[in-house]
Chain A
Amino acid sequence: GAGVSQSPSNKVTEKGKDVELRCDPISGHTALYWYRQSLGQGLEFLIYFQGNSAPDKSGLPSDRFSAERTGGSVSTLTIQRTQQEDSAVYLCASSLDPIGGAQYEQYFGPGTRLTVT
């Protein structure tokens, strides 16, 4: 079946504008994760969804960042009043339910490259 898809693939925006990044996980994957990858840095966890709930938002860097997931499927990451330091590749990953310690790999989407000018 189809893998994880993200849109847009590239986004250039002016400082201060809002942006929305979309993730379509693999069908049937209940767990969804957002990560950010900055140049020379490792992947940085942002938020975790189990179904439509986000039990862990601890990775969101500021209150300008928010995310939601609807229908246990599509997720949207919104960045308000973008800053230059928000420039990075935003990656989404999904997996089967990791409950009980079950080990399932995370499948990553191709990412959205965000550039804030």
Chain B
Amino acid sequence: GQNIDQPTEMTATEGAIVQINCTYQTSGFNGLFWYQQHAGEAPTFLSYNVLDGLEEKGRFSSFLSRSKGYSYLLLKELQMKDSASYLCAVRVDRGSTLGRLYFGRGTQLTVWP
């Protein structure tokens, strides 16, 4: 099976920087995705990494180390609207199944004023 771990909860203050870690153990790995999910809403895509290194997109950056089975999502200049659940998901391609995502349980981030 697949094993994806991320912290359950994190808190931070407005304007700060927060790093959400994700570790995984999978076979057939073909990319790691981060999604944001506000309460009662659909997950929305934030970033993906398939090669080692850092991908930067505005206030959000994501890092991947395939050899360590490790990723993090970095959020800078936190805003109140960033309070949400952040989902780490690993893509596994196996046989005829392509693009299947295995999700962690999500990290609930609360941003305080």
Contacts and interface: CB of A to CB of B under 8 A. Distances in A.
Contacts, number: 69
Given A103-B48, A105-B48, A110-B42, A56 B96 contact: yes
A45 B100 contact: yes
Contacts of B31: 103
A42 interface: yes
B45 interface: yes
A104 B31 CA distance: 10
B6 to A, nearest CB: 9
A107 B45 contact: yes
A77 interface: no
Interface in B2-58: 4, 30-31, 33, 35, 41-45, 48, 50
Interface of B: 4, 30-31, 33, 35, 41-45, 48, 50, 87, 89, 91, 93, 95-106
